[in-house]
A and B are shown apart, each in its own frame.
Chain A
Amino acid sequence: MFCVSAMVVEDATSSVCDLGILDSLNGDAVREIMETWNGYCFATEAALLNGRGDLSCGSKLVSQARNLCKYGLESLVEEHFAGFLEETFEKNGASKFWEHFDVYSNVAAREMIMDRPYKDSTPEKRQNSGGTERLHLLSKYQSMVSSVLWLLFLLIFLTTVHNLAGDDYRSSALESIKGWIQAVPLQFLHALLAYLGDSINYDDTPSSGLKSPLVLCPSSCYAGIDSPSEGLVRWQFRLEYFAYETLQDLRIAKLFEIIVDYPDSSPAIEDLKQCLEYTGQHSKLVVSFISALRYRLLTAGASTNDLLHLYVSTIKALRTIDPAGVFLEAVGEPIREYLKGRKDTIKCIVTMLTDGTGGNSNGPGNTGDSLLEELNRDEESQVNTGVDDDFNTDDKQAWINAHRWEPDPVEADPLKGSRNQRKVDILGMIVSIIGSKDQLVNEYRVMLAEKLLNKSDYDIDAEIRTLELLKIHFGESSMQRCEIMLNDLIDSKRTNANLKATILQRSQAGLLYKRIFELGRAEAVGENGVSLDILNATIISSNFWPPIQDESFNIPEPVDRLLSDYAKRFNEVKTPRKLLWKKNLGTVKLELQFEDRSLQFTVTPLHASIITQFQDQTSWTSKNLSAAIGLPIDVLHRRINFWISKGILSESLGADSNDHIFTLVDGTADTSKTGANTGGYEELVVGDDDGDRSVASVEDQLHKEMAVYEKFVIMMLGSLGGMESHKIHNKLKMFYVADPRYDKSPQQLESFLSGLVAEDKLELIDGGIYKPV
């Protein structure tokens, strides 16, 4: 390496020096130069590498340098020395220096800096010529050192910030980074600046007395530094900005993960917020987060529940970062669009809204809780709420709002409306996915009905609470039907108690009553003296309830008698009202007693009726059983599976291959299967297979309503050929004039059409065109 560099240098010199000098050099002189050069190079190496204390090398070096200078090679000597110095410093000094940094020892750092003048003494000694030259050399050396240091400094800085920030979002990294900046780099810079005489960096700034406004800011204490110089303060801000930007980039890249465990990762969000306040690079966040969403969330594999949870977390997290909701709007848009395409969105939303209250720990109750808590919070803090309540604000409120006005951030898209339409209301944002609150209320009504019908006590406190909260947000009027449903339950409780106590005469609002029965403790079935005590009835005002599925079958005779008895009493108490039993709804608690064990179940009335048939006759063919219960065979097969799966009944093929035989499993015959259940308490989650819902779902209702359009659509497509669904929608709007007019949304039509496709009445071809088959 030395040879090469020497040769290069030689070439360089020859080209630089004029030929006259070359001529004057004889062979000896050249040889001498070469020898001295080599010696000088070795000496440089020795002086710098072999450590500081050894000044003997130094003197040798100086003499050799003098020799070279004689031949007019000062510049060469200087350059080589400087280059070598830089290299060595980078190699040894710097690594040592940063080692010290890593252990946070600023004393060591300062020592290192103090070392520098010593090292510097070598060239000084060597070059003890004129003062100006020395200064030149010194400044050159200084700039070189500082550039090397700066480079390394950045590297170290980056890695340290990365290390400090880490992947732990549960604690704030910003404070520790700031602390570190105070403790290490600033101390170092202080030392460095002191060494450089505070001259290098800022001497060139015009000394017009204009100080950077940043400097005027009261800066925090500088440990161990009495009066921070302007340069140092500038450095501090520069470093902090750099730290903010680094941390921000780091957090933005991981924003998806951060939001996934949002409530826990709020310190990270808080950090990000502060960083963004400094850097103002919000748009970076939006772009990067949206692409992360597209890639990781908005895929078919993500469940709607997860989507919604993340949406809520996003809203909450971004609300911290940007209270005006401008960026939230941009980020939320793709999620909303995607959710609109999912069919179960509404259902999931309603579940999320209400689950936390139902005490139902089946689903991921976590977010359910937080959504409810959100509702609560809004209830407390917002005076004038309501999704579409914006225009009802009175003058005072308007005045307050006017005072609170703040301009939108520059990044706000003026096309997207002003702040007013953009207020960050989680519920509002969720409702906006669905499109209208009516749909949400409808879905909630169905869910509420389901829940109420399956209640065996009349405890509806949680539902009342949810309803009150919903009322705040959606208005009294839209929740009216739900309120009536709850009132029915309250009334039922009272009426039920009244009837049982045979207290007569009470007047009540003129509602049409239908009756839903519920049997308590039906182990009494079969005994003659079945008392009314075991029966609790839920009386509903059917006009206000969602359509209720009807399924007729024969219930055991004693129970039937009980029901009619109850109805008769009801009629006596509340003439002229009569009860219409919905015999398929409700729950039955029953206990099956075998010779060696007894089992308790909570099942639907239909299941109870089936098993009751086996009380007197232990074996039935499916035909006979279906006749006895009054149920179509296929339905019977589906329902009886419950008992088979519990090991109570067994199924075998009869003589006729279509006729199955069901036999009551004898207690001892199959203990392995039922052993776990012995004495246990089994509960059938009513409605867990989809044929089993007691209330027609919103989709079912919709499909029923849409059925009137079926002929129209099929005819129309027959004469006009295939069409896209939006065209069909338009045609229906234009030409469907019968009462009631066509009033469905394009989404509803789409779902109806895909239903027809599933039934093979239409086919869907490329380009979304529906065609008659």
Chain B
Amino acid sequence: MTTINRQDSNTPVTAPPIASSKQPLPTVKTVDTQSVRKRLQSELMALMMSGDSGISAFPEEDNLFNWKGTISGSKDTVFEGTEYKLSLSFPNDYPFKSPKVKFETSCFHPNVDVFGNICLDILQDKWSSAYDVRTILISIQSLLGEPNTASPLNTQAASLWGNQEEYRKMVEKLYKPVA
């Protein structure tokens, strides 16, 4: 639901510049691409050098705008011992717009739907250019252990969350590690 909201709210914001100035757009865009690349590169370096455990991400193939990431479930949560693959795709106007982040591995979680879409505020309306890949990954990692059951995408998971023991069983049953 929030996803839809975000798109609704975003469309009017981005529309005016495209409509108003068609001529300078290409140059602006290339310059932007350059700076976006730079930003992504430095984010990558920061992430690689941070040495945070349990999260990692790296550009897929040679495209700097599509990354593959992994998140492992934190200790002492029902997700402990699991590892999830994510895909991150960055828009051309990153970091002014949030990247699209999806679970590639199916994840039984109140805020993740069957297609892997994630409902997380900082990926939608609360996005700020101060966030980066590392903070996104850390946020998602913590989201695993602390779901927002109030506005679930997966109602079954939300209702089961109360019973952690049963939930753990469900996670184990549905967990399919990617080779």
By a beta-carbon cutoff of 8 Å, the part of chain A in contact with chain B is 711-712, 715-716, 718-720, 731, 734-738
Contact = CB atoms under 8 A, between A and B. Distances in A.
A734 B62 contact: yes
Contacts, number: 41
**B contact face: mostly helix, strand, loop, or mixed:** mixed
Contacts of A711: 48-49, 51
Given A712-B49, A735-B59, A718 B70 contact: yes
A752 to B, nearest CB: 16
Interface in B94-135: none
Nearest to B71: A719
B69 interface: yes
Q: What 10 A-B pairs have minimum CB-CB distances, sorted nearest first?
A: A718-B56, A719-B56, A712-B48, A719-B58, A715-B56, A737-B41, A716-B58, A715-B48, A738-B45, A719-B70
B60 A720 contact: yes
Given A718-B56, A719-B56, A737 B45 contact: yes
> Which of A712, A715, A734 has the most chain B CB within a 10 Å cutoff?
A715
Given A715-B48, A716-B48, A735-B45, 19 more contacts: A711-B48, A711-B49, A712-B48, A712-B49, A715-B51, A716-B56, A718-B56, A719-B57, A719-B67, A719-B70, A720-B58, A720-B68, A731-B58, A734-B62, A735-B41, A735-B44, A736-B45, A737-B44, A738-B49
B36 interface: no
A711 B56 CA distance: 11
Interface string B60-77: 101010011110000000
Nearest to B49: A711
A508 B42 CA distance: 46
B44 to A, nearest CB: 6
Contacts of B140: none
Contacts of B62: 734
A712 B70 CA distance: 14
Interface residues of B, number: 19
A57 B84 CA distance: 111
A718 B51 CA distance: 12
A715 B59 CA distance: 12
B47 interface: yes
A736 B60 CA distance: 14
Contacts of A738: 45, 49
Contacts of B59: 735
B45 to A, nearest CB: 5
A40 to B, nearest CB: 94
Contacts of B56: 715-716, 718-719
A716 B57 CA distance: 7
7 contacts: A712-B48, A715-B48, A716-B56, A719-B67, A720-B58, A737-B42, A738-B45
Contacts of B42: 737
A196 B27 CA distance: 99
A720 B58 CA distance: 7
Contacts of A719: 56-58, 67-70
A132 to B, nearest CB: 93
Nearest to B69: A719
B78 to A, nearest CB: 22
Contacts of A737: 41-42, 44-45
A299 to B, nearest CB: 37
A735 B51 CA distance: 17
Interface string B142-177: 000000000000000000000000000000000000
A735 B48 CA distance: 10
Nearest to B37: A737
A158 B49 CA distance: 74
Given A720-B68, A738-B49, A715 B58 contact: yes
Nearest to A718: B56
Nearest to B179: A721
> Which of A718, A719, A737 has the most chain B CB within a 10 Å cutoff?
A719
Contact of A715 (B41, B47, B60, B64): B47
A733 to B, nearest CB: 11
Contacts of B57: 719
A738 B57 CA distance: 17
Contacts of B70: 718-719
Nearest to B52: A715
Contacts of B51: 711, 715
Contacts of B64: 735
A720 to B, nearest CB: 5
Contacts of A718: 56, 70
Contacts of A712: 45, 48-49
Contacts of A735: 41, 44-45, 58-59, 64
B155 to A, nearest CB: 31
A738 B45 CA distance: 7
Contacts of A734: 62
Contacts of A716: 48, 56, 58
A734 B62 CA distance: 8
B42 to A, nearest CB: 7
B5 to A, nearest CB: 30
Nearest to B72: A718
Interface string B24-62: 000000000000000001101101110100001111101
A715 B134 CA distance: 12
Nearest to A737: B41
A712 B49 CA distance: 6
Contacts of B44: 735, 737
B150 to A, nearest CB: 31
Nearest to B86: A719
A737 B38 CA distance: 9
Nearest to B60: A720
A719 B85 CA distance: 8
A736 B64 CA distance: 12
A509 to B, nearest CB: 39
A474 to B, nearest CB: 36
A694 B70 CA distance: 44
Nearest to A709: B48
A580 to B, nearest CB: 32
Nearest to A713: B48
Nearest to B61: A720
Contacts of B68: 719-720
Contacts of A715: 47-48, 51, 56, 58
A718 B64 CA distance: 17
A520 B57 CA distance: 59
A718 B41 CA distance: 18
A723 B101 CA distance: 24
A731 B45 CA distance: 12
B93 to A, nearest CB: 21
Nearest to A736: B45
Nearest to B45: A738
Contacts of B47: 715
A516 to B, nearest CB: 36
Nearest to A738: B45
A712 B59 CA distance: 12
Contacts of B41: 735, 737
Contacts of B49: 711-712, 738
A310 to B, nearest CB: 43
> Which of B44, B67, B68 has the most chain A CB within a 10 Å cutoff?
B44
A716 B59 CA distance: 9
Contacts of B48: 711-712, 715-716
A723 to B, nearest CB: 10
A736 B49 CA distance: 11
B85 to A, nearest CB: 8
A734 B64 CA distance: 10
A719 B69 CA distance: 5
